[in-house]
Amino acid sequence: MPTMQAIEISQPGSADVLQLSSRPVPQPGPGEVLIKVAAAGVNRPDVFQRMGNYAPPPGASDIPGLEVAGELVDGDLSGNNPFGLKRGDAVCALLAGGGYAEYAVAPLAQCLPVPAGFSMVEAAALPENFFTVWSNVFDRGQLGRGEGGAQESLLVQGGSSGIGVTAIQLAHALGHRVFATAGSAEKCAACEKLGAQAINYREQDFVAVVKQATEGRGVDVILDMVAGDYIPREIDALAEGGRLVFIATLGGSKAEIDAAVLMRRRLTLTGSTLRARPVAFKGALAGQLHDKVWPLLEAGTVRPVIHQVFPAAQADKAHALMESSTHIGKIMLQW
């Protein structure tokens, strides 16, 4: 049986539990393809998985890694193949796990062609963040389709994260007004460069800033990875008809809210997690991204923000950097 190098989680713990090891090359099943991985993205959920707090969904690889780019080398191309992918093509793919390896299996429906002019590292930085942001800001959050009209406003919590830099750029490119919180002057400057009005949450109150900037109206959509005690403040910061979309609970998952305020101001609280959603759902998102976002990437209007690239064997260093929270944008691994 052919083998490959992969990064295993030897046991739950700190970054040094990530270890280079030898594994059998995975075999694609029906509707799946095998990718020879050139690069993989590091995402915060990988850190939670490594610590033992975010188990892979049933059937997914125990190897971490939710996104890759590389060469499509084998697999089942007989089913629905909307982008006409074939062996030898450069693809990027959203995975439910298994990305930190020389080979990874992905459902064909979750593969997209590498955008023209993109390196493998740049392409591998796309899937997890762009699928998540599209699904939560534009589908669940309905940015641009609410009571605020075709040009609405968005507040991104954690604007310098991989998710944040994606949300800022996409919303800005599609004509929406964007606010973003971040925890340092350097991170705020990066958010501003991407098109947001930045708010240093360690020094400023984001509710006061967005209220003042919108003449007291508030923002139409908030993309939130903090939750906890942010929730009542976010409800305050929303405009009438506003939508608060949760994608993580870095600050805790519980809060007291006043249902009367939700009724009176027609607010929506929602959220989702991408990893465990079915292939058909992710395939539909891939189609929307290809139609609406790939042209923006190929035109250079939206670009992945790469903070640092590590050799895959140094995944432990990549995780330690992510946990230091000093990065702006994406941390990547390369074989």
> How crowded is residue 253: how many other Cβ atoms within 10 Å of its Cβ?
11
Q: Is 225 in the site for ligand NAP (CB under 6 A)?
A: yes
Question: Pick from 38, 248, 297, 305: which binds ligand NAP (CB under 6 A)?
Answer: 248
Question: Pick from 43, 49, 110, 142: which binds ligand NAP (CB under 6 A)?
Answer: 43
CB 163 within 8 A of CB 247: yes
3-class SS at 170? helix
Beta strands in the chain (DSSP E): 3-9, 18-24, 32-42, 67-75, 90-94, 103-107, 111-113, 153-156, 177-182, 197-200, 219-224, 238-246, 268-271, 306-311, 330-334
Instruction: Choose between 38 and 247: whose C-beta lies nearer to ligand NAP.
Output: 247
Q: Is 160 in the site for ligand NAP (CB under 6 A)?
A: yes
Q: Is 158 in the site for ligand NAP (CB under 6 A)?
A: yes
Q: Is 325 in the site for ligand NAP (CB under 6 A)?
A: yes
Instruction: Choose between 31 and 329: whose C-beta lies nearer to ligand NAP.
Output: 329
Q: Is 132 in the site for ligand NAP (CB under 6 A)?
A: yes
CB 233 within 8 A of CB 207: yes
Q: Which two tokens stand for residue 202?
A: 């360690």
Report the C-alpha gap between 159 and 198 in whole angstroms. Answer: 8
Q: Is 321 in the site for ligand NAP (CB under 6 A)?
A: no
Q: Is 110 in the site for ligand NAP (CB under 6 A)?
A: no
- Which of 149, 155, 39, 14 is closest to 92 using CA atoms? 39
Q: Is 320 in the site for ligand NAP (CB under 6 A)?
A: no
Report the C-alpha gap between 60 and 285 in whole angstroms. Answer: 20
Q: Is 201 in the site for ligand NAP (CB under 6 A)?
A: yes
Instruction: Choose between 54 and 83: whose C-beta lies nearer to ligand NAP.
Output: 54
Q: Is 232 in the site for ligand NAP (CB under 6 A)?
A: no
Q: Is 187 in the site for ligand NAP (CB under 6 A)?
A: yes
Q: Is 333 in the site for ligand NAP (CB under 6 A)?
A: no
Instruction: Kindly give, in sequence order, each residue whose CB lies less than 8 Å from that of residue 95, ignoring residues fewer than 6 positions away.
Output: 60, 61, 65, 66, 67, 68, 104, 106, 110, 127
Question: Pick from 39, 122, 181, 321: which binds ligand NAP (CB under 6 A)?
Answer: 181
Question: Pick from 15, 250, 269, 313: which binds ligand NAP (CB under 6 A)?
Answer: 250
**Beta strand pairing status for 238-246 and 219-224?**
parallel
> How crowded is residue 308: how many other Cβ atoms within 10 Å of its Cβ?
16
Binding mask 111-130 for ligand NAP (x = CB under 6 A): -----------------x--
Binding site for ligand NAP (CB under 6 A): 43-45, 128, 132, 157-158, 160-164, 181-183, 187, 201, 225-226, 247-248, 250-251, 272-274, 322, 325
